[in-house]
Chain A
Amino acid sequence: MQLIQKYEEEMALVRGWAGWMGVALLAVALLGAPWLLRGYQLYIANIIGIKIIVAIGLNLLVGYTGQISLGHVGFVAIGAYAATHFVTALERAAFFQWLGGPFWVALLVGGASAAVFGVLVGLPALRLEGPYLSIVTLGFGLAVQQILINWPAVSGGRIGLFVPTPRIGPWWLDTDRSLYFLVWTSVVLLSLVAFNLTRSHVGRAFVALRDSDIAAEVTGVNLRYYKTLAFAVSAFYAGFGGALEAYVIQYLEPTMFNLYESIYYLAMVVVGGLGTIPGSMFGATLLSLLQFGLSRAQEYLPVVYGAVVILVMAIEPLGLYGRWLKIKLWSKTWPL
């Protein structure tokens, strides 16, 4: 067992040689994947990366701050449409040509616009809890979809919107491989941000709010600020993921952002492990792989999918990450 002597060691993101080995293996796997996987497998890898980003954002809200969201796909939709319109409108502006195309700004714009709506949804959350908050967020998700359906100027209506191909300077990101690097660089960066956030005073404030908001307020945590911040950060991740999704699929249609999707995101977070960043990754990867992998199972997919979710919850209430921690502990103390 490792002896921790300093606060920095306790806070370190990667601990010991095993940790660094793991990071190195992961890096090799991520960098090797685009040369090992074939076209549609890369596409699936890209979709999984996007789901991971959204799931991490949702976990910050649900797992860390204890605020439930049943309409998270609304933020994803806002991010997707905001980024698409931004990039379409500014594609010809000289300033952005000089920056190498507006697409990466568009990703931030997608995230930021979702964050603004995150704050708006977060405001009622100051007074609402549990089932009441669920209904507000549920309503938000449904409203966003209905507004998009009925506002063709924004959504292209049911004809949908075709998304321009992103580019950095002279490079067009029009292959699965180039999109893979875009998506997975985003996954790595946003995961690091999330890790650091949870280790900072902000993350601790979130957890304090979740465990008891009265106690948190007594100890000096600004309830209003941190609750709305949690919504804003979470929505930013969702919006960013939505913008990436727009680029990867290159087509947007309001029915893509339905209630089922919100439920799937929540399932990813819960199956993976509430209040853990790696858990979001595990959950998003497992449930997305199930969806794609079982497309052959056809009409039995919902049954299999539901059974897996129930099974994971029954065997491991802490989610996949909880199981992983147990395995890790077991291997460390082995052969005891």
Chain B
Amino acid sequence: MAEGRIVGIDLGTTNSLVAYMQGEAPVVIPGVDGSNLVPSVVALDPIPADGSRPTVTVGNSARRVLIETPERVIYSVKRLMGRGLSEVQSELKFFPFQLADDVQEGEVPRIQLGELRFTPPEISAYILRQLKRNAERFFGAPVTQAVITVPAYFNDAQRQATKDAGRMAGLQVLRLVNEPTAAALAYGLDRAKEGTIAVYDLGGGTFDISILKLRDGIFEVQSTNGDTHLGGDDIDNLLLTIALDEIHAEHGVDLRKHPGAVQAVRKAAIEAKISLSTEAAAQFDIELPNGDRYQREIPRAVFEQLIESILERTAGPCKQAIADAGITPAQIDEVVMVGGSTRIPAVRQLVDDLFHLSERGKKPHIELNPDEVVALGAAVQADILAGTSKSTEEMLLLDVTPLSLGIEALGGTVARIIQRNSTIPASATEHFTTGVDGQTNVAIHVVQGERELAADCRSLARFDLKGIPPMSAGLPRIEVKFLIDADGILQVSAREQRSGKAAQIEVKPTYGLTDEQVESMILESFDHAEEDFAARLLIEARNEAETILSAVERAPGSPAWANLTNDERTAIGLARDYLIKAKKTEDSAAIREATLILDHATRRFAELMMEAAVTAAIRGKTMDAAGEELGDELTAPHPMAPAEFK
């Protein structure tokens, strides 16, 4: 093939994946550690002794340091993508990381990570770069083109931020695909079905509902709705809040002052949530600094009562989407479940009720792994774009814009020019004129949303039409064409019709980076990367080897080392020597293999370290006075009565 492969990427709130089409079936590409999921966690390593720029790690290795050094780690960055300063501020109340102190209104907010500052697209770019590397390692060839999924309800700024991230990571983003639609593609591949399907997608941080009509291989989205601020994170935060409050009230220990301890409790909360999907009850058992133990049992019934209000928030968007599609729940033939949060039995029950499934003798589709189905669908879309495969030749996705596009009119009202749920690409042509003699500029404010007043909608951009030939007021006739492209991103062009002059447009996106800014943020080292791919693979393999070797070097200093058996320590020593030898060769595959062997040998040690870190974070670090407070909202009253527990 003259051109490289196009991969499909699910850039998720909690986990990210990369997949490709292997023959007629999409498959997920595993990372070096053999895992399909790359946690969407980015950590900044300590500054090297020589003072050079610290390296950035992504995924499981980054997650490991979350408890030890929370100030050097960022997770759930997707919730910050394409958002303005005030939105990010309110979002950050729930997270241990902070805004850079010099951030100004109107700028893309930057997050403080250790000594450095990054915009959300830059953080996402590191995750994308990791996925790109995983794919390149897998193929043994460069990967430069990708399809990336986004929540269907993402607005223009959030979509643009995602595309920017791709560019920074050295990926040409051929298409942004909506996550629920991608899932439908993954499900629709092996079944030449006709009918109406609903995709219910409750992920880590976002909720989407899409209604699609399938016909002759065409997947036509009828309507979509959602909430870009609703997901498993909210459940985690709720459980976390309850645990922290109770620890404070019952044991007089305020863990909120200690980010590491908060992360340790968060980890326990997530584990409790996950086990409640299969078990009748979950236990919290946390040893506190004063020697007390916080022990709680959460029965599933109590858990379900607690999360009811969160889950109920998905009902409104579902009903609206069904209404917008002009159908009733009974007309929906299939329901597809996507996102890790759909493993929760209460979510499945809610979906059953919303779509009257049981009473119609139907079951929601859960055959494909809900964590992987979006990435698999992205791979299918990548294959459609490549246009070289028989299995997807007849398939075509027709998606819609989730939000109406409007222009601020006189009096601050919104003149809607493209309605929500219009098939994209979609366009609208509007005419503008001047209000004053000789006026040469016209300002246009474009908004996105369903509200009547521009101030209640989301400001998308302000356009300045310049260079209008001076004429009497009202005489110029400026035609402006608004076009929402297949990625759901707005493009604008304009011309003055009487003079025939193309009016110059200056776009000031309300949220987002300029082209120049994106250019300057492109992650270093891509420029010459494609020239010598083998050399790059070797460098990367050696770097990975170096990372794990230096960790093993420090291992005997850790208390966890003493808990290993002699055999385990011997095995680690042998694997280390083998890697040191392999690292001296020019064979990147051999170095990788030796790295993998050492990684495997040290796995139990890593687990012991993690456990030790959790304990230390709660017991030890509470002694430090250092650390930042989490926001006030975490102390909000909650409905969990202590009497519910043993």
Whether both chains belong to one complex is answered with no
